[in-house]
Amino acid sequence: MISTNQLKNGNHIEVEGTVFKVLEFQHVNPGKGAAFVRTKLRRATDGAVIDRTFRAGEKFRSVRTEVRRMQFLYADGQDAHFMDSDTYEQMSVPQASIEDELRFTKPNDEVELLMIDDQPGGLQLPSAVDLEVTETEPGLRGDTASGGGSKPATLETGALVQVPLFVSIGDKVRVDTRTGKYVSRA
């Protein structure tokens, strides 16, 4: 069991049968009344973020988490398939639960699969990835790095990102995986 006094950012706890990751927490001790803990939690199953308040000293079941290095093989529309590079064991994860992360993952990429109580719980991607632009409108003459404006571009994984006007097909671009936005040319 884990108490609210032992909470840390990144901990996984079970609240009413659902596993959550602690994103933020704040101990509040008002001048009048009992102390409480204000938290921001992310549901492990679908990634929904909720705000929740608990009484100080409330206890939760601690959830065992582990990160495993896996190779992304392919996605077939229902499941995403991964292989452990050491044991060659293959694992399937429902594609809907990791849809956002798969937008920036190519087949054969090494990824970190978060295991929650020995069940796959999500992908952990680097903060930025380099991907090739496969489709975009041609840039107009005079478009420079300092010029304003953006245009949509399709990346090699199928993700759609807004890029500056000077980016063309075949260019490699760096994309922030947390926001899904263009960072720079790679």
CA distance 121 to 114: 5
53 in Cβ contact with 100 (< 8 Å): no
Are 155 and 177 contained in the same domain? Answer: yes
Domain that holds residue 153: 128-185
Give the end of a domain, one of 81, 96, 124.
Answer: 124
- Please give the pLDDT value at position 147: 57
pTM check: above 0.85: no
**DSSP label at residue 165:** T
Output the CA torsion sign for 111, 117, 120, 121: negative
Helix (H) or strand (E) holding 101: helix 99-102
Which CATH number fits the domain that encloses residue 7?
Answer: 2.30.30.30
Are 133 and 113 contained in the same domain? Answer: no
- Please give the pLDDT value at position 151: 87
Are 14 and 43 contained in the same domain? Answer: yes
Residue 93: both structure tokens together: 């994860």
Are 39 and 23 contained in the same domain? Answer: yes
Cβ-in-10-Å burial (0-12, 13-18, 19+) of 79 comes to middle
Are 94 and 138 contained in the same domain? Answer: no
Which CATH number fits the domain that encloses residue 84?
Answer: 2.40.50.140
pLDDT in tens, 32-68: 888 899 999 888 777 778 899 989 888 888 788 888 8
Are 113 and 142 contained in the same domain? Answer: no
Are 6 and 58 contained in the same domain? Answer: yes
**pLDDT of residue 85 exceeding 90:** no
Overall domain count for the chain: 3
